[in-house]
Amino acid sequence: MPQLLLFNKPYLVLSQFTEPTGPAGKTAKQTLAGFIDAPGFYAAGRLDYHSEGLLLLTNNGKLQARIASPENKVWKHYWAQVEGDATETALQPLRDGIELKDGPTKPARVSRLAHSPAPWPRTPAVSPSRAARSSWLDIAIYEGRNRQVRRMCAAIGLPVLRLVRYRIGDWQIGELQPGQQRRINIPMPDSVKTPNIAAGKSRGPSKTSRRH
């Protein structure tokens, strides 16, 4: 049976297992290899180096493609801390679809949060002066362009200070802390072209593990 690994990717970690070596054979950046020992598992989609939160990995190629493909409209949900006052007028272009250098985006689901979602502490933290003039947004998209949420927010004059992905489809990060992971089985009959991937969704906290 295909398996899915839910991983809380820390800040400043690449969502891949290998990184070209730098001077004297040293790796320049942290990778998934420092946290995950799961041969045969590959990321279903990506999460950029400066972003945190939920990353899905699987040992099944079909499941990987079905989660990552924009055609299947698997919504990805983010908490975005942006610099500036996120008014309804400012946010509307994201809901309508905004023009980026690589073309227009699909309409996003965007709302301003009344309070900080209070994710785990980040090191280094956003500076107090910038945090004081920031807003928190809840943003959902189903496309998977490079640094898309960051570029969308920059295009409306609200640069991202911190970006945390907390949900992909029906799978939520739950109580996983940075560096922690959880595996689940995913029923996926070969006879079904577009399986109900929600059948393997997370239904609450379960045992987690951390590799030190």
* Three-state SS letters, the chain: CCEEEEEEECCCECCCCCCCECHHHCECCECHHHCCCCCCCEECCCCCCCCEEEEEEECCHHHHHHHHCHHHCCCEEEEEEEECCCCHHHHHHHHHCCEECCEECCCCEEEECCCCCCCCCCCCCCCHHHHHCEEEEEEEECCCCCCHHHHHHHHCCCCEEEEEEEEECCEECCCCCCCEEEEEECCCCCCCCCCCHHHHCCCCCCCCEECC
Given 37, 48, 138, 170, which residue is catalytic?
Answer: 48
CA atoms of 138 and 104, how far apart (whole Å): 20
Q: Is 48 a catalytic residue?
A: yes
CA atoms of 1 and 108, how far apart (whole Å): 33
Active site residues: 48
